[in-house]
Each structure stands twice: as structure tokens, then as C-alpha cells.
Amino acid sequence: MPLVFVPTPLGNLRDVTLRAVDALAQAELIVAEDTRVARKLMRALDLRAPQIWSYREQNARQVTAAIVERAKVAFVAVTSDAGMPGISDPGSELIAAAREAGVGVEVLPGPSAAIGVALLSGFSLRRFVFEGFPPRTGTARRESFARALHAEITTIWYESPRRIAAALRDLSEVAPDSEVFLVREYTKIHEQQCWGTPLSVLAQLPEPARGEVAFAIAPYRARSQTPVANVGGAIDALLADGRRVGEIAKLLAARGFGDRQQLYARASARKAQSKAPIKDARRT
């Protein structure tokens, strides 16, 4: 029997595919991120809800084997709360376990916020990377943005509405002139699309922001010509802000201040210099 990954509508119920409806109608077991959301979807589609098991990041290790065993003898449909299951939620491990056990796997085509925001952005998609959710802490988030910007290709991100303001501020700190396209509540009644620099996009969002958020960052080429005098000032400002030398090197390299290794060496030297004891001129 197959293990079928079934994409569900992101917001607009009419986005469900006929194959998705068929799969949900035939399923003997539905594996869902949130069983309540799955039951609500089945009612909306006027389908009988079979047995539904919870499968999420917190319990994936405990239930994967049982799902695979069930798929050996029954039609099992795997769903997400919205969009393609396995994108930014567990799924790849389940597919690997099923393949190892000789269970067939199918993935039905359907809605994906990552692809939607990529196309809507209008940015170059000859190469692009789905980065998922940024780290939750500011330092790690800035380092993640700096690393992604160095690739000079379009990057696609998801973010919680509770953290999107902090994420855009961190992106602005790394690359204030970067170009961002953001979609909030994609395919829903109150869908919002925003373009501009990180801070201009932030200014367009409601306070507080609500709903699902996805955004794209355009291919970024850092400014290569930066006056040398400005480098020292930028390093000193970040040192005064309590930043680590490694983080300073990454941030300034992403901003176009020069080679990361050279910036690291310069920041280390300026940090050591700032800690050097000051001689009393009266004793010399």
C-alpha cells in the first residue's frame, strides 16, 4: 500500500486538487500535523474522516515506525496544516523510513507558499534556495542572513508573525539596501504583498503582524568600494555594541567592507588595541 503525501490549501479551499480530494477520500489513516485542522478540512470537503494520527516535530521519532507499519497494509495519507507536507515540518525522515521498509511513496503536486512567494517576487529564479525559518536569536539570524547574501542568488524564507519585525531589522543591519518581497496571508482574504528594503517592508506591515509570512530576498551583490577609513569606524561601532569579532567580520563582509578573513584580523587588532592600557603622560 502507498504512503501518499497530500498537499492541502494554504488558505483558499478552492486550491485543493482533485487528486488530493481523491486521496483523502480513500485514506484509511490520515497522518496530520494537527488532528483538529485535519478534521476541519475533511468536514469542509464533505469527506468522512477516518482514523487520524498526530505527526509533528515533537513526536516524529516516536510514531514514524508505527506509521510505516500501517502503510504496509493500509492507504495512509500524510498532510500538513497548510501546503506541502514535509516543507518546514517533518516528512523526509518518514519517506526515508518507508523506502527502507519497502513501502511505496507518492507525493501529489499542490500548493506551496515557498514557490508562490518565489514567483510573485519577480526576482531571478535561475537559481534560488529555500532557507526555511531563520534562527530565533538575533546573532544567529544575522549570521544566517549574511551567509545567504554571499551566495548572490534569490533566497526564500518563512517566518513567524511574532518574529518578522526582528528578522527584518536584523536583515537591515546586515544589508540595509537589500531588496525584499514579502507575502502575508498568502491566498487568504487579507493577503498582503510588500516590496522594498527590509525597513520599508517592515513599515508596511500591521502592528502586530498576524498570519503566515513568507519572504524572498533578491540576489545581493555587496558594495565593493568602501572607504578604508569607514571600515575602522564600523568595526569600532560594532565592538562598542558588544559584538564578537567573528560576527563583526561576517556582517561587514556582507555589507561590502571587504574580505571576511581580513576583516576578522582587523577587528581582532582593534579589539586588542581598545583593551590596551593607556600610559599616563605625567610618568613618562
pLDDT at residue 256, rounded to an integer: 66
Amino acid letter for position 275: K
Query: What is this structure's pTM?
Result: 0.75
Indicate if the pLDDT at residue 278 is higher than 70: no
b (16+ CB within 10 A) / e for 194-212: bbebbeebbeebeeebeeb
At 280 the pLDDT is 47
What does the pLDDT read at residue 18?
96
Asked if the model's pLDDT at residue 257 lies above 80, the reply is no
Average pLDDT in the 193-208 region? 95
Residue 128 confidence class, pLDDT cut points 50, 70, 90 = very high
Over residues 180-192, the mean pLDDT reads 95
Q: Give the CA angle between residues 232, 234, 239 to the nearest 5°.
A: 95
Q: What number of helices (H) and strands (E) belong to the chain? A: 11, 10
Average per-residue pLDDT for the chain:
89
Q: Which residue do the cell numbers 517576487 mark?
A: 121
Q: What's the mean pLDDT in 223-244?
A: 72
What is the Cβ-side half-sphere exposure of residue 236, based on CA atoms within 13 angstroms? Answer: 8
Question: Is the CB of residue 91 less than 8 Å from the CB of residue 83?
Answer: no
What is the predicted pLDDT for the residue at 282?
A: 46
The pLDDT of residue 225 is above 70: no
Which backbone phi and psi does 11 adopt, to 5 degrees?
-165, -55
Tell me the pLDDT tens digit for each residue of 47-99. 998 999 999 888 988 999 999 999 999 999 999 999 999 887 788 889 999 99
Is residue 224 predicted with pLDDT exceeding 70? no
Close Cβ partners of 112 (under 8 Å, ≥ 6 residues apart)? 7, 83, 84, 87
The tens digit of pLDDT for each residue in 150-171 reads: 888 999 999 999 999 999 999 9
Phi first, then psi, for residue 77 (nearest 5°) are: -105, 130
Please tell me the predicted confidence (pLDDT) of residue 42.
96
- Residue 210 CB partners (closer than 8 Å, separation 6+): 161, 184, 185
Over pLDDT 70: what percentage of the chain? 93
Confidence of residue 233 (pLDDT cuts 50, 70, 90): confident
pLDDT above 50 for 105: yes
